[in-house]
Chain A
Amino acid sequence: MRFVIALVSAALAASVIVSAAPASDAPDPAADAEAFRNYFVTKFPKVKLEDFVNGPYSMNKDMRRQWQEKEEFPPYEFALEAGKEMFAAPFKNGKTYADCFENGGIGVRQNFPYFDAKQGEVITLELALNRCRTANGEAPLSYVKDEMASLTAYMAFTSRGKPFDIKIPDDPRALAAYENGKRYFYTRRGQLNFSCASCHVQSPGERLRAEILAPALGILNAMPIYRSEWAGMGTISRRFITCNSQTRAVPEEAQSEDYRDLEYFLSYVSNGLPISGPGARP
């Protein structure tokens, strides 16, 4: 009998160890977001939390001064106007973008991306806009060109100041998408062996040639952005593709599952920080 008890005890102890091990690796987005925020707040104690959305301008006084002057006549203004017109213009069937979104698409940017339980995938704002177009018989827009950037610029502008409110529903597929985005963010790739985190976690505020690297916290809040380097507007898709190319990795297709999941992860960990887009960057 004593032997049986000993065996049962040993088996129980073993099962506790076995079941405890995966628990430590179980996805915990809320804990991730807290740790993410704490990392940046500790690293940059002088930067106010809501200021992280201003990217390199929160890290460098001189750049901040230049930006503040630039904001008097912001370079994204033309895109904003164009986006407003495009948003209101009816499709051939008479409907508009407003028909595809909650609240007519006004002040909803902070809720994107979201996990669509019906389709089992992450829906970004760019994807939702193109799906709206195709559902209404229009050709989809390029994810990396001016028209998409103009539309998202206008929608972001109507959400300015509203905090990111990304939800991860209690759905294993949503958690898997979040985890995949996290994996993508921390994975090194390209001949230069860089991950997204190499620049935007390990080195924000540092110079990479002429650029000052932005912190990952709040990095998507300012999207889309006018970049002087591009001499034009850029969407989140364009940003991801360019980042990959800069590490000499073959980029994925715009709005690939990996990129959408990456956007989901990055937006979630910036929950609570205000939308500041459209933005302007050097």
Chain B
Amino acid sequence: MRHIVLVASLLIAATAPALAASEADFKAAYAAADAAEKEAGSLRNQWLTTETTLKAAKNAADKGDFEAATASAKEAEALARASIVQATGEKDRWKDAEIR
């Protein structure tokens, strides 16, 4: 029994730091998302969803919930990257839809 408790404690101790996001994790994720959103802005193709998700990340971080904040920042980065792909693809593709 003592052996099981010991193994369980070790497992928890080993995995906990990997699961719980820290403030540093949030900052890194937010910086990446912010940079991607700025790139989308330079292409004049930002999405409202990205903006609200970035705000949600910041709000969660302000409350100290870095787990949720990091998750939101990662989601915002994915959204921003999708808007960049859209803008890049549409650069010429819009012509396919043109009435001729």
Contacts and interface: CB of A to CB of B under 8 A. Distances in A.
Contacts of A252: 44
Given A245-B48, A250-B48, A191 B79 contact: yes
Given A35-B100, A187-B90, A193-B86, A248 B45 contact: no
Interface in A28-42: 32, 35-36, 39
B86 A189 contact: yes
A250 B90 contact: no
Main SS of the interface on chain A?
Answer: mixed
Contacts of B97: 186, 195, 197, 201
Main SS of the interface on chain B?
Answer: helix
Contact of A191 (B44, B48, B98, B99): B48
B51 A39 contact: no
Nearest to A40: B99
A258 B47 contact: no
Interface string B61-100: 0000000000000000001001100110010011101111
Given A191-B48, A258-B44, A36 B99 contact: yes
Given A35-B100, A36-B99, A201-B99, A191 B47 contact: yes
B-side interface size class: 20 to 34
Interface in A181-204: 182-183, 186-191, 193, 195, 197, 201
Interface residues of A, number: 22
A23 to B, nearest CB: 14
Interface of A: 32, 35-36, 39, 182-183, 186-191, 193, 195, 197, 201, 245, 248-250, 252, 258
The 8 A-B residue pairs whose C-beta atoms are closest, nearest first, are A250-B46, A186-B94, A187-B94, A39-B99, A186-B97, A191-B47, A248-B48, A191-B49
